Structure formats: structure tokens, C-alpha cells
Amino acid sequence: MTRASERATSAVREAILRGEFAVGARLGEVELADQLGVSRTPVREALSRLAAEGLVDLSPHRGARVASWTVAELDSVFDVRLALEPRSTARAATRAGPDDHDALDDLAARMQHVGSAGSAQDLDALVPLNREFHGRLVALADHPSLAAALAGVVHAPVVLRNFHAYDDASRHRSLAHHAEIVAALRARDPDWAAAVMSAHICNARAAMIGPRQQTDRTDPEEKR
């Protein structure tokens, strides 16, 4: 991949993850090329790369669009996360040092500040903090194969702005999990760290998929 393609891939990926493009939004090659100051070729290569990451849907008839997910697809995403992320977090617990603990603790506290109910609540601000928290855990695990496998499944909840799907109770649980994960890392307890991460992912799945499953079960006649 050329340097221009790498820059385009990074820029479009970040724009999608920041929510600048809504789920299902069209990603025009010409418009993106003009916006990024590159030719269409790097943009085309970037969109193909992002399609492989699961962030973009490519169709011969509809072009490129920000990926969307069915309930079944989201459920599969969480299945993969449950299989991999607790294991990765357990490895991080045996490798993290005091500086890592402090950095993660700071992220957990900042998420608590912007995620708790009240005038300071900013759910969109949670997204980059959450990405950094989970990204640090994956980096600490120092397992390239696990990291590569997780990279393909962690984007869906971010793109769907998952914290907006949480009710107050599930959001409170999620924020508390971050702090408990740090406590498990400080204790250098891989089993504890893995168990909390499993609960964290199950909480996210219930918050995101539960309401959509209820909608899908609604009688078609009631939707008209």
C-alpha cells in the first residue's frame, strides 16, 4: 500500500469511528479524494482495506457505504470478542506495570466523569476514551495474532455509537467494569481480569442487541 493510500485509510477510518459518517452513509470516491487532497486511486484502495476491516460495505450497484450490521451479525461480533478479548486482557494483567495501571486508571476516571448522568455527561466523548482503554489492553497483551483478530470485530459497537444504546444501569455497569479491570491488573490477577472483561462484553451485548431484538420481534402489522 502506498503512503497516500495509508493516509487515506487512516483518515477515513478515523472519520467513521468518530461518527462523522453515519451508518449507511455513502462514501463517494470523488468527494473523499477532494477532501483528502489525493487522487481517486488511494481512496479506492483505502475503501477496499476498510471493507476488509468491516467498516465499509462495497457493492457494485450502491458503491461504498459505512457498514451496518444485522442483529445476527452483531451477535457474532460479540461471540468473537468473548472468545478473544478476555484472553487478551488476562495476558495484559501479567504484563502491565505501574505506569500502565496509572494510565488506564486515568482513562477509567475520565470515562466515569463524562459517562455518568448529570450536566457533565458527554456520551460522544466516551467513544475515543473507550477505544484508547481497550486499545491499551490489547497492546499490553503483546500478542499480534490476538490483536489482528480483535481488530476486525471491535469497530461495530463504536460505529453504532454504542453508549447511546445503553440505559443508565447498563452504562453504570460498563463504567464500573473499566475501574475493576484496572484493579485486576494492579493485582496481577489474570483470572479476575478475564472475568470482568467477559462481564463487560456481555453487558455491551445486552445493551446493544436486546432492544434491537425486541424491535425485530414486533408484529409486522404493528409497524405499519
pLDDT tens track for 115-159 = 988 888 898 888 889 989 999 999 999 999 999 888 877 776 666
Q: How far apart are CA 163 and CA 172, in angstroms?
A: 11
CA distances from 57 to 26, 65, 77, 141 (A): 10, 5, 16, 30
Q: How does pLDDT run along the chain (224 residues), one tens digit per residue?
A: 688 999 999 999 888 877 788 888 999 999 999 999 999 999 999 999 888 877 888 988 889 999 887 888 888 889 999 999 999 999 999 999 999 999 999 999 999 999 988 888 898 888 889 989 999 999 999 999 999 888 877 776 666 666 777 899 999 999 999 999 999 999 999 999 999 999 999 999 998 887 666 555 544 444 44
Contact 149, 80 (CB under 8 A): yes
Fold of 3-66: Arc Repressor Mutant, subunit A (1.10.10)
Q: How far apart are CA 147 and CA 85, in angstroms?
A: 9
Domain covering 71-217 in this structure, CATH number: 1.20.120.530
What residue ranges do the domains of the chain occupy? 3-66, 71-217
Strands (E), 127-173: none
Q: How far apart are CA 92 and CA 40, in angstroms?
A: 40
CA distances from 198 to 86, 96, 131 (A): 6, 19, 17
Contact 110, 126 (CB under 8 A): no
